[in-house]
């Protein structure tokens, strides 16, 4: 596999931010040699890059102590991924994918020795969760009580004071998190319904991550957040000016006119999650590296372009095609990352 990766990707240098180390990832993607970077996008003109974003994060880790297993945490007992390593890998990936624009900082970390309460009032304990895991039969409805979490961790007060900009929930399987959810004035769909029971003077997003999974799945959560937010940003744009609608074109929706596709569909995919499809299609994905100049002829592509089916590599490839420069067009920013990361900037 290492030889395949070395053939697939060239070496790359500075990209407008910190070079992405692609350290051995804790699941959710192919381990890569530290000296090899995916050749996803040219080195940008630093004069065209926008002001970096520095979102501040409250990270809440639900990782209960399992007293019947020697007082170890649930994550350790199950052999799941280290939440802090996952967070570090995700931060590095997003920084690299955004050409240095997005620089997350975890300003507060809370580890919870307990199981979060569900929306219907149910709460696992050590015994009930271990039995449910052994049987693979879990409480339904699964959804967590977001209102209780928001109040318990004083999220709104921290967001309104500027202490934090978003929240990351990091938990075990069946915690009941959505992948992302938005709160605040005129909050909108963010891969989940907005939490209307809570009011806030600023919009903010709560991400839900599962430390049984890897960085690739975390990027998938971010990808669906991006789809929701960019769809909202462009919802009143029509015709050729709707660049987001053009960006997500793929062979299944626009035969012969694929661009970059979406999170689930690469340009050549025939079904959801079909990132390893080897069929060759015409795509104009390369033109997005030259934004705002979207002229250019399509060329033949297949899964070799985005990692041969690897979830983490596909999502990095997709993100690297986002417009990420200064200025605006048709009243919308040329840097899509500012909308994805700060929903308060969405018109």
Can you give the pLDDT at residue 37? 62
Predicted confidence (pLDDT) per residue in 222-252, tens digit:
999 999 999 999 999 999 999 999 999 999 9
Higher pLDDT, 115 or 18: 115
In this predicted structure, the answer to whether residue 115 has a pLDDT above a threshold of 70 is: yes
* Residue 186 binned pLDDT confidence (cut-offs 50, 70, 90): very high
Average pLDDT over residues 6-22: 35
The CA distance from 49 to 236, in Å, is 26
Which of 245, 320, 264, 252 is closest to 288 using CA atoms? 320
Can you give the pLDDT at residue 294? 96
- Order of strands across the sheet that contains 180-183: 105-112, 56-62, 166-171, 204-210, 180-183
Predicted confidence (pLDDT) per residue in 130-143, tens digit:
999 999 999 999 99
Cβ atoms of 93 and 219 closer than 8 Å: yes
What is the chain's length?
Answer: 347
Cβ atoms of 41 and 320 closer than 8 Å: yes
Predicted confidence (pLDDT) per residue in 66-95, tens digit:
999 999 999 999 999 999 999 999 999 999
Q: What is the mean pLDDT of the chain?
A: 91
Cβ atoms of 134 and 128 closer than 8 Å: no
Predicted confidence (pLDDT) per residue in 172-182, tens digit:
999 999 999 99
Task: Give the whole-number percent of the chain exceeding pLDDT 70.
Answer: 89
The CA distance from 137 to 123, in Å, is 15
Give residue limits of the domains in the chain.
2-345
Cβ atoms of 175 and 139 closer than 8 Å: no
By DSSP bridging, strand 56-62 and strand 166-171 are parallel
Number of helices (H), then strands (E), in the chain: 10, 11
Cβ atoms of 212 and 78 closer than 8 Å: yes
Helix (H, G, I), strand (E, B) or coil at 250: coil
| Tokens (6 digits) for 219 | 């990027």
Q: Is the dihedral of CA 322, 327, 330, 332 positive or negative?
A: positive
Task: Enter the DSSP assignment of 201.
Answer: S
Q: Is the dihedral of CA 108, 95, 224, 196 positive or negative?
A: positive
* Angle formed at CA 263 by CA 274 and CA 156, multiple of 5 degrees: 145
Residue 282 forms beta bridges with which residues? 300
Min mean pLDDT across 5-9, 120-124, 194-198 is at 5-9
Cβ atoms of 222 and 228 closer than 8 Å: no
* Angle formed at CA 162 by CA 157 and CA 168, multiple of 5 degrees: 75
The two most distant CA atoms of the chain are separated, in Å, by 63
Predicted confidence (pLDDT) per residue in 263-316, tens digit:
999 999 999 999 999 999 999 999 999 999 999 999 999 999 999 999 999 999
The CA distance from 88 to 94, in Å, is 10
In this predicted structure, the answer to whether residue 164 has a pLDDT above a threshold of 50 is: yes
The CA distance from 269 to 17, in Å, is 31
Can you give the pLDDT at residue 10? 31
Average pLDDT over residues 59-66: 98
Task: Enter the DSSP assignment of 116.
Answer: P
Give a three-class secondary structure readout of 4-66.
HHHHHCCCCCCCCCCCCCCCCCCCCCCCCCCCCCCCCCCCCCHHHCCCCECCEEEEEEECCEE
* Angle formed at CA 335 by CA 97 and CA 314, multiple of 5 degrees: 30
């Amino acid at each position: 596999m290492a030889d395949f990766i070395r053939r697939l990707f060239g070496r790359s240098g500075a990209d407008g931010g910190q070079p992405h180390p692609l350290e051995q990832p804790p699941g959710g993607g192919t381990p890569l040699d530290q000296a090899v970077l995916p050749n996803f996008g040219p080195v940008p003109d630093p004069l065209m890059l926008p002001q970096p974003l520095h979102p501040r994060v409250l990270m809440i880790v639900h990782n209960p102590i399992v007293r019947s297993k020697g007082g170890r945490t649930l994550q350790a007992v199950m052999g799941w991924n280290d939440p802090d390593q996952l967070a570090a890998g995700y931060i590095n990936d997003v920084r690299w994918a955004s050409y240095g624009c997005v620089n997350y900082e975890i300003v507060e970390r809370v580890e919870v020795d307990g199981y979060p309460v569900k929306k219907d009032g149910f709460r696992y304990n050590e015994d009930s969760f271990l039995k449910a895991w052994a049987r693979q039969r879990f409480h339904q409805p699964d959804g967590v009580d977001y209102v209780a979490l928001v109040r318990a961790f004083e999220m709104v007060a921290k967001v309104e004071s500027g202490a934090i900009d978003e929240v990351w929930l990091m938990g075990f399987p069946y915690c009941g998190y959505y992948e992302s959810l938005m709160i605040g004035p005129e909050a909108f769909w963010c891969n989940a319904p907005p939490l209307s029971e809570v009011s806030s003077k600023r919009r903010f997003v709560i991400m839900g991550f599962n430390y049984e999974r890897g960085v690739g799945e975390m990027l998938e959560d971010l990808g669906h957040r991006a789809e929701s937010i960019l769809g909202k940003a462009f919802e009143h744009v029509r015709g050729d000016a709707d660049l987001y609608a053009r960006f997500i074109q793929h062979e299944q929706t626009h035969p012969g006119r694929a661009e970059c596709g979406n999170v689930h569909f690469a340009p050549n995919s025939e079904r959801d999650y079909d990132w390893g499809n080897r069929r060759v299609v015409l795509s104009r994905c390369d033109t997005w590296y030259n934004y705002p100049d979207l002229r250019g002829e399509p060329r033949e592509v297949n899964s070799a372009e985005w990692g041969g089916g690897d979830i983490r590599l596909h999502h990095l490839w997709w993100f690297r095609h986002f417009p990420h420069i200064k200025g605006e067009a048709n009243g919308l920013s040329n840097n899509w990352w500012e909308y994805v990361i700060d929903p308060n900037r969405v018109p």
